[in-house]
A and B are shown apart, each in its own frame.
Chain A
């Protein structure tokens, strides 16, 4: 019997006042905290009589350690970092400046190099980084600036008073599998905050709560997502230079799916490679982890990796709905930054620099609010104005219709992308409509039994143990660890749908899109179709794909006990 995580009722919760609560210690949250510390320090230096305190400003981070849940390619466009910390290059952990770049179109066994690298994919001036190491460093700057980072604490619920966000509740610790308090139970804190800044990353759970509560997405395009599956490899020297950047399109995806791969050369012969599969593919049997395995079997990639060793694995969703999918980002007592808001350039496949910039702009607004002691939407709405007047808007406006152009496949997408390139991003319409990705999933009866042209992408990857890996082997390399004795944090609102409808209509795609084997359909003669849903929540790598991609939208991802999750060392 599945028991889901639910905050115990009628318990007394410790209270703690906060001026600012930043939920999430990734690039956006950390940049926000650091910028705020800078502004307060500057203010205090020149206003000895009206000092502002950093004492009650907190960053909540669900990972046990700063940066542990951060995963990205990653390339860093230094624009915002140079604003936040001029000369950051001197001390930040950067693997290498981009030295060489190429874009390939892959067929099953061949490749075509694009004669020129399309401008959006030109990366000179950017850096290959490990986002994990970078955020660890940025976090150390935040702590050195006198800010408090609570690691191992997730934002579990928003505290609301009418239309106002009044704070955030942290996760309950010490609940057992039946959702009952254990001997060491510690109820989550009610952090009563004047302003809550949501920096949870892609598909934030509190952000989702807020968007639903206030129907924030009603005039916006639905957010669309991709799932990035990444492996870190150590390869024999001479295969790829540090700073070398390769993008591929095409194989193993067909024209029905959206996505592509990256290969980045890091230092010490470490290669970052990964595949982003758009979470708007038609065949529910498609498995993004398998897509990456197929990609590696291409001779071009296999040769690069031969004799190497896979050292780390991870997966994460990313929002690429673009400008028109960004919800309102401020209101009474709240702001949303980074991937939670959807600040990601889907054409350049970059979001770190935008996350940082949005965090900085939110910090500037929070600083004004602190000075005025006014945290109403009147003051906090300066944040969206700041975004409008910043280079974030300029950059995202140019690509506002990019991803939507690919809704009807790769070829049409290239056509729209081409027209948009010459019309400042407009393309054929002012605003391209979008469909949520899960709604594009087709029922099994409309699909060929063997997958047809997608047959190489469906079902679990087997793996040869050298170049390709099955999901559990990959998962082992994510370093994922959770307290085992806790309720399931993947809340399925109606398991009857899983067992009676989904299994026959879509063939239980949760087993396929989850990159961590959390979902399993187990034989059970008592179940209507001979199988019941079972969960392995301890495997969860916090990618949020299930929350996004389940065709019935009955899964809600909530944070498990703080401190649990993947360990993305070096990712």
Chain B
């Protein structure tokens, strides 16, 4: 199987974020990491390759720093990488990103494209799905398991409330992978060293500019959430308080 994995570099989950001057995104002087679901997508692709043979190619769009994500993927066992390298890719919406990817891989023949379920920063959960539409391929989301069959693949999707759905799909297809589907491997010293000599194709913005068009979605303004604190006393007999409390937790705070 020839598999493409779409990966994204995102700010580290616990990084202290500051807004940029125009208030439209964060300042980029933070630490970055691989988008978590993408790491699972990569791991799943590597496992499929180990079982069925083939090739794993990783792709990302972002400034030079985003290359780190590709290096890590190559170190873990991906065969080659494609980097759509430009600062401008940071601000693209899901539609534009998917179109950029589609343009960058138009000369390749993949059997399967895996993406993470969604990104930790924008959280669109759309790039993979739109990419499937652009390629006119079937897709399935929130994948928990992939099994190769004679006709294509059988996948397990996570639904709500502990339910799963099993779907038989033809290939080629796009899957968006849920975190936790597998156990991530570690990069090894030899892997990191070998990654230095693996092919990494750079694609300039100009190459895909025409395909991208203009953003359909843009961030007008971001706000730091205002912290507020409110204390409310529940009164009455214990049984009644318990009832009120459950009601609040379930319907107001929605943690139950």
Hey, which bits of chain A sit against chain B, CB under 8 A?
14, 16, 64-65, 68, 148, 150, 152-153, 170, 173-174, 182-184, 186, 189, 191, 311-312, 477, 479, 481, 567, 569-570
Q: Please tell me the size bucket of the interface on B.
A: 10 to 19
Task: Chain A residues near B14: list those with CB within 8 A.
Answer: 479, 481, 567
A311 to B186, CA, bound (A): 31
User: Residue B31 at the A interface, CB < 8 A?
Assistant: yes
Instruction: List 8 other contacts, CB 8 Å, given A186-B186, A567-B14, A569-B16.
Output: A14-B190, A16-B190, A148-B193, A153-B189, A174-B186, A189-B189, A567-B15, A567-B31
The 7 closest A-B pairs by CB, nearest first: A173-B186, A186-B186, A189-B189, A184-B183, A479-B14, A184-B185, A183-B183
Q: Is A152 a contact of B187 with CB atoms below 8 Å?
A: yes
A324 to B188, CA, bound (A): 40
Nearest-Cβ distance from residue B7 to partner chain A, whole angstroms: 17
User: Residue B12 at the A interface, CB < 8 A?
Assistant: yes
Task: Chain B residues near A481: list those with CB within 8 A.
Answer: 14
Q: Known A14-B190, A65-B31, A150-B189; judge A569-B184 contact (CB<8 A).
A: no
Nearest-Cβ distance from residue A7 to partner chain B, whole angstroms: 16
Nearest-Cβ distance from residue B152 to partner chain A, whole angstroms: 28
Q: Which of B30, B185, B189 lies at the interface centre, i.e. has the most chain A CB atoms within 10 A of its CB?
A: B189
A191 to B185, CA, bound (A): 21
Query: Could you name 12 residue pairs across A and B whose Cβ atoms are closer than 8 Å?
Result: A14-B188, A148-B192, A153-B189, A173-B186, A184-B183, A189-B188, A189-B190, A479-B12, A567-B14, A567-B15, A569-B30, A570-B29
Query: How many contacts A-B (CB < 8 Å)?
Result: 49
Task: List the B residue with the shortest CB-CB distance to A481.
Answer: B14
Task: Chain B residues near A567: list those with CB within 8 A.
Answer: 12, 14-15, 31
Nearest-Cβ distance from residue B15 to partner chain A, whole angstroms: 6
Nearest-Cβ distance from residue B86 to partner chain A, whole angstroms: 19
Q: Mark B10-27, 1 if CB is under 8 A from A, else 0.
A: 001011100000000000
User: Residue B207 at the A interface, CB < 8 A?
Assistant: no
Nearest-Cβ distance from residue A481 to partner chain B, whole angstroms: 7
**B contact face: mostly helix, strand, loop, or mixed:** loop
User: Residue B196 at the A interface, CB < 8 A?
Assistant: yes
A231 to B215, CA, bound (A): 41
Task: List the B residue with the shortest CB-CB distance to A186.
Answer: B186
Nearest-Cβ distance from residue A53 to partner chain B, whole angstroms: 13
Task: Chain B residues near A183: list those with CB within 8 A.
Answer: 183
Q: Is B31 a contact of A569 with CB atoms below 8 Å?
A: yes
Task: Chain B residues near A68: list those with CB within 8 A.
Answer: 31
Task: Chain B residues near A170: list those with CB within 8 A.
Answer: 189
Give the residues from 12 to 56 in chain B that come closer than 8 angstroms, CB to CB, to chain A. 12, 14-16, 29-31, 33
Task: List the B residue with the shortest CB-CB distance to A173.
Answer: B186
Task: Chain B residues near A153: list those with CB within 8 A.
Answer: 189
Task: List the B residue with the shortest CB-CB distance to A60.
Answer: B189
Q: Is A182 a contact of B186 with CB atoms below 8 Å?
A: no
Contact pick for A312, options B16, B33, B188, CB 8 Å = B16
Nearest-Cβ distance from residue B49 to partner chain A, whole angstroms: 17
Task: Chain B residues near A477: list those with CB within 8 A.
Answer: 16
Nearest-Cβ distance from residue A491 to partner chain B, whole angstroms: 22
Give the residues from 166 to 210 in chain B that come closer than 8 angstroms, CB to CB, to chain A. 183-190, 192-193, 196
Nearest-Cβ distance from residue A183 to partner chain B, whole angstroms: 5
Task: List the B residue with the shortest CB-CB distance to A478.
Answer: B14
A174 to B29, CA, bound (A): 31
A312 to B193, CA, bound (A): 34
Task: List the B residue with the shortest CB-CB distance to A182.
Answer: B183
Q: Is B15 a contact of A479 with CB atoms below 8 Å?
A: yes
Task: Chain A residues near B185: list those with CB within 8 A.
Answer: 184, 186
Q: Which of B29, B30, B186 lies at the interface centre, i.e. has the most chain A CB atoms within 10 A of its CB?
A: B186
A477 to B183, CA, bound (A): 28
Task: Chain B residues near A150: list those with CB within 8 A.
Answer: 189, 192
A64 to B12, CA, bound (A): 11
Q: Is A184 a contact of B186 with CB atoms below 8 Å?
A: yes
Task: List the B residue with the shortest CB-CB distance to A562.
Answer: B186
Nearest-Cβ distance from residue A28 to partner chain B, whole angstroms: 22
Q: Which of B15, B33, B185, B196 lies at the interface centre, i.e. has the most chain A CB atoms within 10 A of its CB?
A: B185
A287 to B190, CA, bound (A): 44
Task: List the B residue with the shortest CB-CB distance to A187.
Answer: B188
Task: Chain A residues near B187: list those with CB within 8 A.
Answer: 152
Nearest-Cβ distance from residue B66 to partner chain A, whole angstroms: 14
Task: List the A residue with the shortest CB-CB distance to B193.
Answer: A148
Task: List the B residue with the shortest CB-CB distance to A152.
Answer: B187
Nearest-Cβ distance from residue B12 to partner chain A, whole angstroms: 7
Task: List the B residue with the shortest CB-CB distance to A232.
Answer: B16
Nearest-Cβ distance from residue B166 to partner chain A, whole angstroms: 24
Q: Is B16 a contact of A311 with CB atoms below 8 Å?
A: yes
Task: Chain A residues near B190: list those with CB within 8 A.
Answer: 14, 16, 189
Q: Known A65-B31, A183-B183; judge A14-B189 contact (CB<8 A).
A: yes
A174 to B183, CA, bound (A): 10
A153 to B75, CA, bound (A): 14
A479 to B196, CA, bound (A): 30
A64 to B32, CA, bound (A): 10
Contact pick for B189, options A16, A65, A184, CB 8 Å = A16
Task: List the B residue with the shortest CB-CB distance to A567.
Answer: B31
A183 to B196, CA, bound (A): 27
Task: List the A residue with the shortest CB-CB distance to B31.
Answer: A569
Q: Is A148 a contact of B196 with CB atoms below 8 Å?
A: yes
Task: List the B residue with the shortest CB-CB distance to A561.
Answer: B186
Task: Chain B residues near A174: list those with CB within 8 A.
Answer: 186
